[in-house]
Structure 1
Amino acid sequence: MQVILTQDVKNLGEKDDVVSVKPGFGRNYLIPQGHAILATESARKVLAENIKQAQFKQEKIKKDADAIAARLVDVKLTIGAKAGESGKIFGAVNTIQVSDALKKLGFEVDRRRITFETDVKFVGDYIANLNLHKEVKVQVPFAVVAE
């Protein structure tokens, strides 16, 4: 079954991608939740026209993402968290804290675009993956220190 995604779906694709999914997944989840529409001939034509019109806007967004990525290359963040004597953090460091730390340095990155390779539950050095654009991804190292 071919569907057109109306928004980003993790592990499936980005908005406006045409993807093949199992019929049950498409009919019972993606379409009722508003994540996708059927990829009929008319829907494909509308999608092509929308992509054509949005191409200029996407180029500008990609240029901005490249500029941010170039500035983020040398950035190393430090995030403070309450921790016990063994170095285990009370709770965990989340994407909101990384987004706030980037905001203090002058970078506006949405928290939903930040992921971690491992759970951040101990004091130490980690890497945050920033998906600034479909084609622009940056890894920013950060250190978690005990407060």
Structure 2
Amino acid sequence: MKVVLLERVENLGHIGEVVSVKDGFARNFLLPRHKALRANAQNLKFFEAQKEQIVARNAANKAAAETQGAELDGQQYVMIRQAGETGQLYGSVTGRDVSDAIAETGAKVERNQIVLDTPIKTLGVHSLKIRLHAEVSITITVNVARSAEEAERQAAGENVIASQFEEDRLADDAAAADLLEGGAGQAIADSYEY
């Protein structure tokens, strides 16, 4: 199906271009969201008559997105989640969760604007791209941790899971050394004089 684009669509074209797309993509995405019109004579005349207004509206939307992007770009959001010892979450962090975290700070981002190919399923600091407009994208950081203290350590660059394994290994080594020196079992053995 041939359509004329009413706004820039990534990997497809710019305003006013007549492009050929699959029928389902046009019917299910472009046409219902008013991103394009069918490329017939009547719609092409309508587009030419309204072109200045469409371009002006797109420029206003882009300027608003740039303003919002300037406030959000580079921000870090902490999300406290339950996770196992290996750092695997008991669930996942989705676009909706990120959108809600941003909304708590007073900004507004729709969940479909968050580019998240797969949900976040591990602890750590994750960079996410947010597409506020077809021509405006920003990057935020989501710090997924089990506690606020752990989030601070992760923000400082520490690998919390590796640190935890190292602490456990040192504690095990200390306990083994204590047993070898006769620490834990020695007091009981001394009380039984044969």
The two structures have a TM-score, normalised by structure 2, of 0.61
Displacement of 1:97 in angstroms is 0.9
CA deviation map 1:6-53 (0-9, x unaligned): 8998865689763223xxx32xx2455474453122222212333422
CA distance in 2, matches of 1:111, 1:14: 24
Where 2:90 maps in the other structure, the secondary structure is coil
Matched residue, 2:129: 129
Letter in 2 for 1:98: V
Structure-2 residue corresponding to 1:52: 52
- Whichever residue aligns with residue 128 of structure 1, its letter is L
Alignment check: 8 A CA contact 2:8 2:135 kept: no
Q: Work out which of the two has the higher radius of gyration on C-alpha atoms and give 1 or 2.
A: 2
Per the alignment, do residues 94 and 31 of structure 1 end up closer, same or farther by CA in structure 2, a change over 3 Å counting?
A: closer
Distance in 2 (alpha carbons) for counterparts of 1:14 and 1:101: 32
For normalisation by structure 1, the TM-score amounts to 0.77
Gaps in structure 1 of 5+ consecutive residues: none
SS in 1 for 2:126: strand
CA contact (8 A) 2:6 2:54 kept: no
Q: Structure 1 or 2: larger helix share?
A: 2
Task: Give 5+ residue unaligned stretches, structure 2.
Answer: 32-36, 148-194
Match for residue 103 of structure 1?
Answer: 103
* Alignment partner, residue 146 of structure 2: 146
Q: State how 1:21-100 maps to structure 2 within 5 Å.
A: 21=21, 25-26=22-23, 29-30=24-25, 33=28, 35-36=30-31, 38-100=38-100
Q: How far apart, in 2, do the equivalents of 1:95 and 1:13 lie?
A: 26
Structure-2 change in CA distance of 1:31 and 1:133 (3 Å): closer
**Aligned positions, number:** 142
8 Å CA contact 1:7–1:35 kept in 2: the answer is: no
Determine if contact 2:74/2:139 at 8 Å carries over to the other structure. no
Aligned in 2, Cα 1:9/1:81: closer, same or farther, shift over 3 Å?
Answer: farther
Higher relative contact order (CA 8 A, sep 6+): 1
Seq. identity, %: 28
Identify if the C-alpha distance between structure 1 residues 124 and 17 changes in structure 2 by more than 3 Å, giving closer, same or farther: farther
> Residue 86 of structure 1: SS of its match in structure 2?
coil
Partner of 2:20 in structure 1?
20
How big is the shift at 1:133? Answer: 0.9
